[in-house]
Amino acid sequence: MKTLSLHSRSNRSIWLTLTILLSLMLGACTKPAEKFVNTDLTGLEYAKDFSLIDQNGQPRTLADFKGKAVVLFFGYTQCPDVCPTTMFEMSKVMTQLGPLADRVQVLFVTVDPERDTQELLAAYVPNFDKRFLGLYGNAEATAKVAKEFKVFYQKSPGKTPDSYTMDHTAASYVFDPEGRIRLYVQYGQKTDAIVHDLKILLQQ
């Protein structure tokens, strides 16, 4: 009986050793997870949701876009530089994504609700890509969503009361298809970097 017991223990030891070696080999062959180029916000405690109206007059929250990666940008239609540049870059991102672009939703949230009406957003936003949506709210709703996303915005007076500009945060937030905040994209980020990160999110 002692001989059998020693033999049994020996077999268990061999199998344990083989199991460990196999695990190490598989671990060495596993491709390391790709890292984001843009700022990783996974687990952020704010920037959770919004409640606004789209350019077609439909109430919208983040849940409406579940299943898609969402890129959320704050701007205004009369912006002379940052906003059109960002939207144009996002249109290039969509082109580079090819068929994957149908799983991405770009949202343009106006910080200038006094001038950016539903009709103006409907004329402006889809010019960059027909799939893009403009979102707006009244002054209270705009302030609420800006606070939720810690977005700065304020009027900068012009020569006439209607010719003011808006100083605002020039960056985008990105959510994964499950509606979780994941990335912060700074203004001027290269198109390839955004495409790279969106592909990671769409593959998870």
- Amino acid identity of residue 84, one-letter, is P
Q: Is the pLDDT of residue 34 over 70?
A: yes
**Three-state SS for 143?**
helix
User: Model-level pTM?
Assistant: 0.83
Read off the pLDDT band of 162 (50, 70, 90): confident
Structure letter (DSSP) for residue 198 = H
For residue 89, report the phi and psi dihedrals to the nearest 5 degrees. Answer: -60, -40
Mean pLDDT, the chain, rounded, equals: 90
Laid out side by side, the sheet with 39-40 consists of 39-40, 181-186, 171-175, 69-75, 104-110, 133-136, 51-54, 59-61
- Partners of residue 181 on adjacent β-strands: 175
* % of the chain at pLDDT higher than 70: 84
> What's the start-to-end Cα distance of the chain, in Å?
53
- Partners of residue 155 on adjacent β-strands: 166
Q: Is the pLDDT of residue 111 over 50?
A: yes
Torsion sign, CA atoms 167, 191, 131, 41 = negative
Q: Is the pLDDT of residue 73 over 80?
A: yes
Distance in angstroms (rounded) separating the CA atoms of residues 172 and 154: 18
- In this predicted model, what pLDDT tens digit does every residue of 78-98 receive, in sequence order? 999 999 999 999 999 999 999
